[in-house]
Amino acid sequence: MIQVRGLTKRYGDVLAVDDLSFDVEPGKVTGFLGPNGAGKSTTMRMMLGLDRPTSGTVLVNGRPFTALAEPLREVGALLDPGSVHAGRTGRSHLRVAARTNGVPERRIDEVVEQVGLGSAAGRRIRGYSLGMRQRLGIAAALLGDPRVLLFDEPMNGLDLDGIRWIRGLLRQLADQDRTVLVSSHLLSEMQQTADRLVVIGRGRLIADATTAEILGGLGRLQVRVRSSRSEELLARLRERGLTAERVDTHELRVEESTAEEVGEVANEGHLPLHHLSEAQQSLEHAYLALTGDDVEYHGRPAEPTPTRTEVAR
């Protein structure tokens, strides 16, 4: 378990992390979300004793990381897949980590197979793709068979098969009652994988709840319905007090309702339905609703490309 209490980090005048408190519990995949510059990586570095907090504490299994006698056996982490000696082979990188932490060398073969590096483990790291470096970093994190695991953007550089693999790996680790914290910008993956979400912005806690609670609170059901008599259906839905609007000639969108309720309205008016479905708002929409005021860097919309006629004028 990871316990974060009142964690604050200043770099001069910059407040990177601001009085942050939350728990990461075993047996769950906890997604750690936030815009660029929100303080996620800084927080994870403080969890691992790489940065010293200005104030506050982080305890891993009840102790500071720096107090752990065999840290690799208790905590595995992937923060930066590029922070390795490029002249070494993947296997030699793992061998150094194993020897310095008292991990038997047979464990190297096990993690190489587990992450799918295969024969690439014998090649020099400078020739690795980003995806291969990610797999090597995950292998290093798993090397000591730790009960606590931290992954910072582990899906970057992975192809579709690799993303599906790591999705299964994260689930497997949590099902083994391990503590798993994952930072990622791939919200569709977090929606499928994470049991709980900790969302921060500008170093402050925005939300700490289960994925279902966040989707349930901000992502209410939306109903799509098609009918050849959509005008009549639209009028009846609005008479019922439902928020309905037209999508196209035959399709309507009904907010905060259910397919059952919309179907009953149509049935009362003997109106034909050609399609009726309900969908929950995605994590992306819920996330944007939560963090909209905490995004530090905003891009400017692209200017429309002028037509040849406009250029000629």
Q: Which pair of structure tokens corresponds to residue 190?
A: 């977090």
Q: Which pair of structure tokens corresponds to residue 71?
A: 């840290």
Domains of the chain, first to last? 2-210 (3.40.50.300), 219-291 (3.30.70.270)
Q: Which pair of structure tokens corresponds to residue 151?
A: 């992954």
Residue type, 105: E
Task: Enter the DSSP assignment of 122.
Answer: G
What are the helix (H) ranges across the chain? 40-47, 71-74, 90-100, 106-115, 130-142, 160-175, 187-193, 211-218, 230-239, 259-268, 283-291, 308-312
What's the CA gap between 146 and 47, in Å, rounded?
15
**313 residues of the chain, pLDDT tens digit each:** 999 999 999 999 999 999 999 999 999 999 999 998 899 999 999 999 999 999 999 999 999 999 998 899 999 999 988 888 999 999 999 999 999 889 999 999 999 999 999 999 999 999 999 999 999 999 999 999 999 999 999 998 889 999 999 999 999 999 999 999 999 988 888 888 999 999 999 999 999 999 888 876 644 578 899 999 999 999 999 999 999 999 999 999 998 888 999 999 999 999 999 999 977 667 777 777 777 665 555 555 555 555 555 545 5
pLDDT (0 to 100) of residue 302: 52
Q: In sequence order, which residues have a C-beta less than 8 Å from that of residue 159 and are 6 or more positions away?
A: 131
Please check whether residue 166 is in contact with residue 158, taking contact to mean a CB–CB distance below 8 angstroms: yes
pLDDT (0 to 100) of residue 219: 45
